[in-house]
Structure 1
Amino acid sequence: MVFTVVVAHACLQVLLHAAGQRTSGALGPAAELVFNLVVDALLLFAPARPRAVGVLVVLAAAIARVADLAAPGLLTSTDALYAGPVPLATPVAVWILVYLWPTPTPAPTAFACVGALALLNAQPWAPTWTGLYVGVVYAVLPAVIAMYVRARASLLSSLRERVEIAERERHLLNERAIVAERQHLAAEMHDVVTHHVTEIVLHAGALRTSTDDEAVKAAARRIGDLGSRTMVELRDLIGVMRSGERAAPAGVTCDRDCARTAAPGTCGRDCPRRAARSTDDRGGDLAELTGSAGASLRVGGDPGTASPAISRAAYRVVQEALTNVRKHAPGARVSVDLRHGDDAVHVEILNTAPTEPADPSLVASGSRTGLAGLRRRVSLLGGTLRSGPTEQGGYLVTASLPALVPAEDHREPEGPASPDPPSP
């Protein structure tokens, strides 16, 4: 900004010289032009050295006035085209000293320089209306305007800062309200939903032990297994909701009372609790699920590296994607790719373009919120889910989940123990 203003002012001085403003002293007709250009060059250093530049500008004005008294026409033109200040860059110098002074408020040095420039241009030793006009308009007025603009800019900055603080406080209050509502929902789920699911598991166990019909026993066993799995998923969800935060990424301790860690805050591959938890409650059999849907399944890595909550979430992603394929893309070929890493689990479900028209009644039977619900579930676990059509007319669903998340201490719901192992 300073460079642009100074260059523009120097161009103005060159134009005035070309228009006929000359000096008649011993230093030649271009003495005033050279004198003013030197002062302009000094102003380029004003932002970094304001005090030194201010003193030098005042000294230049004093030298010009002394030269004007001792030898008129030496540094200033005796027949100037207009009544201007000495040096010609006085208004620019005043503006830089007052507005761009690098402190919250201009220092007394700046006002002292402005006062000295006003006196030197007003020439109180030979008072005239023209001199008073030059001193006020070219020295005092720029200082007043610069102080007003500077104060206004400071006020706007303060107001903007207050607005930002208020906005942050509003977001904080919103976050607190969300956390409070989440905890309230967690309490309701714990008090109501888990109670009814526990009753379902108990009644299913009682039905299984009180009947001799194998079909009824199998149905009761299936109901009990689904109820137990639902209880585990509810505990995971309630644990995340009560924390008020998203699940931590991979590398956190695998359980609250884990006694072995590879490093502070991390869980080793050989952790016994991790190994024990990685072998049960996987959320479902992916091979059976993909096989019944006619999809190809490819599994990479060690499934034991993922915590149960992550495995269940990956299963739900595949389940929802295959359900959507059956509804919206009949006849399409589907491939499921599940890759387990030390830090993350990646799921990819890709189907080709449908070869048959979709059944309108089947399409209309959905709630159209399956992927949105999955996206929220994956987000709560600290992962991401993306979905969208492919260029070949198919559809791609990808999910990336952390391998480990903090989880509640899983316990089976109270009730009669089942002699049969739960379904995978």
Structure 2
Amino acid sequence: MTDRPRWHRRHWLVVDVAMAAIFVALDTVGTLGGTSWWPAKPDALAWSLLGLQALAVGTLVVRRIAPITVVAVLTAFTLALTLLVSPGGALTPAHGGNVWAPFGTTVAAYGPLFYQRRCDQRARRAALFALAALTLVVMRPWDASVGTMTVGLLRTAVGPLLALYIDARHRLVLALTERAERAEREQHLLARQARAEERARLAGEMHDIVTHRVSLMVLQAGAMQVTATDERTRRAAEELRSSGCQALDELRDLVGILRAEPEGDLSPSVEGIPTLVAESTAVGIPTELVEEGAPALASPVVGRTAYRVVREGLTNVRKHASGARVTVRVDYGETRVRVAVTNTRPSAPPGSGPTAALAGTGSGLGIAQLRQRIEVVHGTLRAGHTPDGGFEVEAILPAYVPTAETVG
């Protein structure tokens, strides 16, 4: 249902290692070039601090895993460097008006708000506190210099602002995508409703036309039976009348089928899944049900489709996997529902055991028909062997599919 992630997302560690190496080189060259805290006459302390700066900036490798830790390390280094300059007096920068924090702080400040945007409020507050501390140390408000404070603020503000912008844009794209998918599903359902109404109209016209003609035949046969003087003719008329009445009954049933709504599905929904699992266990197949999330998140048609997936999966286990253990997992999410029926390697070879007679039954189209039904609601179905020799049927369904039930 989703496109394959881009290269930089699939190889994020390579990207972060390269970015850390670039900023280590940039900060080292920039410091030696006099854009930061490098003294006019470097001593052993200056060279040691240069090495510590490279290590501190190198923590950008883990900026996705531990963004607050990276900010804390760079804050501690910048604070220690500042204290050595003043009031420590152990280091005298050649250009006192420069910002002494490494350029890597800009990238580090991006992480806490972006990579922890889905965390709880406590983690969010910790991220804001870490960014505030970093901003305070980089700006050096106790060293009253408008230029230093302005550049320091910009260096630590660009990252969080960019993170907030990208997060807002990502949410907007997701919302627009979901709206487009929902509009497409609604259009599809409206088309199905129009076809159903046309079917009902044609069925009604066929019923009226054919019923009228067949009724005339039945009446004429009845009149012939009453007026005929020959016994053989009366019997033929009675047979014709009976056939006509039977044709009317069959026509009524056929028209009822044609008039039925495609959505007129009385299959159980997700509340029937525990019953399926219990029935499977009762016939000697160890079956475990694992449910996560709230079943109410699944709309009615999705719930019925999930029920069919479980029923088809358990039926296949009974036919083809004698002695296997089964796990039924249903995950209810806000945007999707995942249903998986997984069985272990069967203990008996195929075609043997008490289920041998079941293996040859059925049309063999269960999975294919199930896939078609799932595709109607814009879901996906995967069925195949697992690495341990078992088999898995997995369906990914949208949590909400609009139908007349949900509109009502």
**Shorter-chain TM-score: which interval?**
0.3 to 0.5
Q: Which has the higher helix share?
A: 2
TM-score normalised by the chain length of structure 1: 0.45
